[in-house]
Chain A
Amino acid sequence: MPGNAGRNESSPLVLVASSLAGLRKRCRQALERGHPVHEVTERGELERSMVNRRPAALLLDLALPNLGGPGGIAAIQKLCSATKIITLTTAPDEREGIAVLKAGARGYCDREIDGPLLEKATAVVLKGEIWVGRKLIPHLLEELTALTQQRLREAPGKSDDRLERVTPRERQIVDLLSAGASNKEIARRLNVTERTVKAHLTAIFRKLGLAGRLQLALFALEHGRFTRPPDGIGPRFN
Chain B
Amino acid sequence: MAAKTGHHGNAMPPITVVVAERQKADRAACLRLLGPEEGIRVVGEARSALEAITSAARLRPRILLLDLVLARASGTSLIPALRLRSPQTKVILLTEGASEARTLEALCHGARGYLDRSVLARFLPRAVRVVDAGEAWVPRKMVSRIMDRLAGLTAWGMKTA
Contact = CB atoms under 8 A, between A and B. Distances in A.
A137 B137 CA distance: 9
A144 B74 contact: no
Interface in B84-135: 84-85, 107-112, 134-135
A144 B146 contact: yes
Contact of B153 (A130, A141, A148): A148
Question: From DSSP, what is the main secondary structure of chain B's interface residues?
Answer: helix
Interface stretch (A18-26, A32-40, A109-117, A217-225): A217-225
Contact of B74 (A129, A134, A214): A214
Interface of B: 48-50, 53-55, 57-58, 73-74, 76-78, 80-81, 84-85, 107-112, 134-136, 138, 140-141, 143-144, 146-147, 149-151, 153-154, 156-157, 160
Question: From DSSP, what is the main secondary structure of chain A's interface residues?
Answer: helix
Given A214-B50, A214-B74, A137 B147 contact: no
Contacts of A180: 53-55, 57-58
Contacts, number: 103
B136 A137 contact: yes
Interface of A: 101-102, 104, 106, 124, 128-130, 132, 134-135, 137-138, 140-141, 143-145, 147-152, 154, 178-180, 213-215, 217-218, 221-222, 224
